[in-house]
Amino acid sequence: MAALTWRNTVYLKLQERNNSEREQYRTVIESHCKLYDITENLKKKTATLTDDINRLRQENLELQRNVIEGGGRSDKQLEQKLLKAHEELKDLYKKRGENAQALIDLKEELQIKEKDILSKDLRISELESRLNAVKLANEHLESDIAEKETTNTILKDELMGLQMAYTKAEEKIMKLDKENKTLIDRWMNLKKEAAEDLNKENEMFRKRKQEKLKKDIQDAISNPVEIKEGSIHAPSGLFAGALSRIPSRAIAKFDAHDSEVFGLKWAPSGKYFATVGGDKQVKTWEKIGSSIEKKALFTPCFNRSVTSVDFDEDEKCLIASSNDCSTQIWDLSTRQLRVRLTGHENKVHSSKFVSGHGINKVVSGSQDKTIRLWDVANKLCSRTFCPGSTCFDLVAYGENIISGHFDGKIRIWDSQAQDSMTNIPLENKTKLLTCSRDHCLKITDFRQNRVIITLHDDNFRISNDCSRAVFSPDEKYVLAGSNNGQIIIWNIAKQSVEYRSEKEHKGAIQACSWNPNGDGIISCDLKRGCILWGDF
Amino acid sequence: MAEDRGILREVWEGKVPVSFTLSAEEVSTYEHPESCYLLVPRHSYFPLFLDKLQKHFINYVNGDESDVWLENTNTNQPIKWHYPVGVLFDLLNSSHSLPWNLTVHFKNFPDSIFRWNNRDAIESHFMSCIKEADALKHLGKVISGMQIQHHKQLWAGLLSDKFEQFWAVNKKLMEGDGDESFKSIPFKIYQGDSRHIQKLFKPQNERGDSKTLRDMIQEVAPECFDENGELNQKIITHGIEMPLESDIIWLSEHLSYPDNFLHICLIPLE
Upstream peptide bond of A473 is cis (omega within 30 degrees of 0): no
Q: Which of B128, B111, B113, B96 is nearest to B46 (CA)?
A: B113
Nearest CA in chain A to B52: A33
Per-residue pLDDT tens digits for A146-162? 999 999 999 999 999 99
Q: Which of A408, A418, A392, A474 is nearest to A442 (CA)?
A: A408
Question: Is B246 within 8 Å of A6 when comparing Cβ atoms?
Answer: yes
- Using alpha carbons, list the distances in angstroms from residue A313 to A170, A238, A353, A425, B16: 65, 11, 8, 22, 146
In a domain, A73, yes or no: yes
Q: Which of A25, A10, A27, A9 is nearest to B97 (CA)?
A: A25
pLDDT at site B178: 63
Average pLDDT over every residue of B159-176: 85
Is there a contact between B100 and B85 (Cβ–Cβ < 8 Å)?
Answer: no
| Partner A contacted by B16 (CB < 8 A) | yes
Q: Which amino acid is at B16?
A: V
Query: What is the band of A169 on the pLDDT scale with cuts at 50, 70, 90?
Result: very high
* Residues of chain B numbered 89-118 and touching chain A (CB < 8 Å): 98-99
Beta strands in B134-224 (DSSP E): 187-191
Count of beta carbons in the 10 Å neighbourhood of residue A533: 24
Question: Is B240 within 8 Å of A33 when comparing Cβ atoms?
Answer: no
Per-residue DSSP letter, A382 = E
Count of beta carbons in the 10 Å neighbourhood of residue A102: 10
| Partner B contacted by A9 (CB < 8 A) | yes
Question: Is A32 within 8 Å of B4 when comparing Cβ atoms?
Answer: no
Least confident range from A233-242, B3-12, B16-25, B117-126: namely A233-242
Classify B2 as helix, strand or coil.
coil
Higher pLDDT pick, B116 / B73: B73
Average pLDDT over every residue of B214-222: 83
Q: Which residues partner with A331 through β-bridges?
A: A317
A514 sits in which H/E element = strand A509-514
State what percent of residues in chain B have pLDDT above 90: 0
Average pLDDT over every residue of A421-449: 66
Which residues on B lie below 8 Å from A25 (Cβ)?
Answer: 17, 37, 39, 98-99
In a domain, A390, yes or no: yes
CA dihedral A428, A430, A433, A434 (to 10 degrees): 130
Which residues on A lie below 8 Å from B58 (Cβ)?
Answer: none
Q: Which amino acid is at B10?
A: E
Category of B109 on φ-ψ map: left (φ > 0), alpha (ψ -120 to 50) or beta = beta
What's the CATH class of domain B2-105? alpha beta
Go through A60-77 and write b for each residue having 16 or more CB atoms within 10 A of its CB, e for each that does not.
Answer: eeeeeeeeeeeeeeeeee
Is there a contact between A488 and A504 (Cβ–Cβ < 8 Å)?
Answer: no
A381 sits in which H/E element = strand A380-385
In a domain, A325, yes or no: yes
How many domains would you assign to chain A?
A: 2
Q: Which of A441, A450, A438 is nearest to A497 (CA)?
A: A441
Query: What is this model's ipTM?
Result: 0.75
What residue segments make up the domains of chain B, in order of their start? 2-105, 120-268
Helix, strand, coil tally for chain A in percent (to 5): 40, 30, 30
Go through A451-480 and write b for each residue having 16 or more CB atoms within 10 A of its CB, e for each that does not.
Answer: eebebbbeebebbeebbbbbbbbeebbbbb
Question: Is A14 within 8 Å of B10 when comparing Cβ atoms?
Answer: yes
| Partner B contacted by A31 (CB < 8 A) | no
Q: Is A48 exposed, middle or buried (0-12, 13-18, 19+ CB in 10 A)?
A: exposed
Which residues on A lie below 8 Å from B36 (Cβ)?
Answer: 36
How are beta strands A496-500 and A487-491 bridged, if at all? Answer: antiparallel
Rounded to whole angstroms, how far apart are CA atoms B207 and A149? 163
Beta strands in A419-508 (DSSP E): 431-436, 440-445, 450-455, 470-471, 477-481, 487-491, 496-500
Average pLDDT over every residue of B253-259: 87
In a domain, A269, yes or no: no
Q: Domain ends where: A369, A402, A423? A: A423
pLDDT at site B172: 83
Nearest CA in chain A to B11: A14
Which residues on B lie below 8 Å from A22 (Cβ)?
Answer: 13-17, 39
Question: Is B16 within 8 Å of A9 when comparing Cβ atoms?
Answer: no
Which residues on A lie below 8 Å from B38 (Cβ)?
Answer: 29
Nearest CA in chain B to A9: B243
Is there a contact between A224 and A511 (Cβ–Cβ < 8 Å)?
Answer: no
pLDDT at A236 over 50: no
Nearest CA in chain A to B246: A6
Cα dihedral sign, A516-A520-A524-A528: negative
Question: Is A25 within 8 Å of B34 when comparing Cβ atoms?
Answer: no
pLDDT at A3 over 80: no
Q: Which amino acid is at B113?
A: I
Per-residue DSSP letter, B25 = G
pLDDT at A457 over 50: yes
pLDDT at A235 over 60: no
Task: Give every strand in the sheet of A440-445, ordered side by side.
Answer: A431-436, A440-445, A450-455
* Residues of chain A numbered 34-73 and touching chain B (CB < 8 Å): 36, 39
Size of interface A-B (CB pairs under 8 A): 74
Gap from B99 CA to chain A (nearest CA, Å): 8
Q: Domain ends where: A158, A187, A217? A: A158
Which one of B13, B14, B243 has the shortest CB-CB distance to A10? B243
Rounded to whole angstroms, how far apart are CA atoms A267 and A313? 9
pLDDT at A80 over 60: yes
Is there a contact between B81 and B68 (Cβ–Cβ < 8 Å)?
Answer: no
Q: Structural domain of residue A53, as residue ranges?
A: 2-158
| Partner B contacted by A18 (CB < 8 A) | yes
Which residues on B lie below 8 Å from A5 (Cβ)?
Answer: 243, 245
Least confident range from A281-290, A350-359, A378-387, A434-443: namely A434-443
Is there a contact between A401 and A354 (Cβ–Cβ < 8 Å)?
Answer: yes
Q: Which of A341, A282, A289, A287 is nearest to A311 (CA)?
A: A282
Rounded to whole angstroms, how far apart are CA atoms A244 and A226? 33
pLDDT at A422 over 70: no
Question: Is B243 within 8 Å of A6 when comparing Cβ atoms?
Answer: yes
Read out DSSP for A54-67? HHHHHHHHHHHHHH
Upstream peptide bond of B99 is cis (omega within 30 degrees of 0): yes
pLDDT at B115 over 50: yes
Q: Best residue in A29, A30, A42 to probe B by mutation, most B CBs within 10 Å? A: A29
Count of beta carbons in the 10 Å neighbourhood of residue A2: 9
| Partner A contacted by B17 (CB < 8 A) | yes
Classify A23 as helix, strand or coil.
helix
Least confident range from A127-131, A396-400, A409-413, B1-5: namely B1-5
Rounded to whole angstroms, how far apart are CA atoms B201 and B262? 12
Gap from B146 CA to chain A (nearest CA, Å): 31
Q: What is the CATH number of the domain that holds A382?
A: 2.130.10.10
State what percent of residues in chain B have pLDDT above 70: 93
Q: Best residue in B9, B246, B248, B265 to probe A by mutation, most A CBs within 10 Å? A: B246
Rounded to whole angstroms, how far apart are CA atoms A7 and B8? 12
Gap from A69 CA to chain B (nearest CA, Å): 42
The correct answer on CATH 3.40.50.300 for the domain covering B120-268 is no
The number of C-alpha atoms within 13 Å of B41 and in the hemisphere containing its C-beta is 20
Q: Nearest 5 degrees, angle CA B6-CA B12-CA B17?
A: 125
Which residues on B lie below 8 Å from A32 (Cβ)?
Answer: 37
- Phi and psi of B135, rounded to 5°? -60, -40
Q: Which of B174, B177, B120 is nearest to B152 (CA)?
A: B120
Q: Mention every residue, 6+ apart, whose C-beta is less than 8 A from residue A421.
A: A412, A413, A414
pLDDT at site B227: 76
Question: Is A33 within 8 Å of B37 when comparing Cβ atoms?
Answer: yes
Per-residue pLDDT tens digits for B130-154? 899 888 888 888 888 888 888 888 8
Which residues on B lie below 8 Å from A11 (Cβ)?
Answer: 6-7, 10
Fold agreement (B2-105, B120-268): yes
Q: Which residues partner with A263 through β-bridges?
A: A276
In a domain, A86, yes or no: yes
Which residues on A lie below 8 Å from B15 (Cβ)?
Answer: 18, 21-22, 26
Gap from B86 CA to chain A (nearest CA, Å): 11
Average pLDDT over every residue of A429-437: 71
Q: Which of A358, A433, A353, A366 is nearest to A396 (CA)?
A: A353
Which residues on B lie below 8 Å from A7 (Cβ)?
Answer: 4, 7, 246, 250
Per-residue DSSP letter, A335 = -
| Partner B contacted by A20 (CB < 8 A) | yes
Cα B224 to its chain centre, rounded Å, is 22
Question: Is B13 within 8 Å of A33 when comparing Cβ atoms?
Answer: no
Is there a contact between B122 and B45 (Cβ–Cβ < 8 Å)?
Answer: yes
| Partner B contacted by A17 (CB < 8 A) | yes
Rounded to whole angstroms, how far apart are CA atoms A223 and A212? 16
Question: Is A26 within 8 Å of B34 when comparing Cβ atoms?
Answer: no
| Partner B contacted by A360 (CB < 8 A) | no
Q: Mention every residue, 6+ apart, whose C-beta is less than 8 A from residue A316.
A: A331, A332, A333, A358, A359
pLDDT at B205 over 80: no
Is there a contact between A518 and A243 (Cβ–Cβ < 8 Å)?
Answer: yes
Which one of B6, B239, B247 has the shortest CB-CB distance to A17? B239
How many residues does the structure list for chain A? 536
Which residues on B lie below 8 Å from A17 (Cβ)?
Answer: 14, 238-240
Which residues on A lie below 8 Å from B243 (Cβ)?
Answer: 5-6, 9-10
Beta strands in A23-96 (DSSP E): none
Which residues on A lie below 8 Å from B245 (Cβ)?
Answer: 2, 5-6
Average pLDDT over every residue of B229-236: 80
Query: What is the band of A135 on the pLDDT scale with cuts at 50, 70, 90?
Result: very high
Rounded to whole angstroms, how far apart are CA atoms A321 and A305? 9
Cα A197 to its chain centre, rounded Å, is 49
Cα A513 to its chain centre, rounded Å, is 40
Gap from B251 CA to chain A (nearest CA, Å): 9
How many residues does the structure list for chain B? 270
Higher pLDDT pick, A177 / B77: A177
Average pLDDT over every residue of B197-221: 82
Question: Is B7 within 8 Å of A22 when comparing Cβ atoms?
Answer: no
- Phi and psi of A471, rounded to 5°? -80, 155
Report chain A's mean pLDDT, rounded to a whole number.
84
| Partner A contacted by B67 (CB < 8 A) | no
Q: Domain ends where: A128, A158, A188? A: A158
pLDDT at site B28: 79
Per-residue pLDDT tens digits for A17-56? 888 888 888 888 888 888 888 988 998 999 999 999 999 9
Gap from B58 CA to chain A (nearest CA, Å): 13
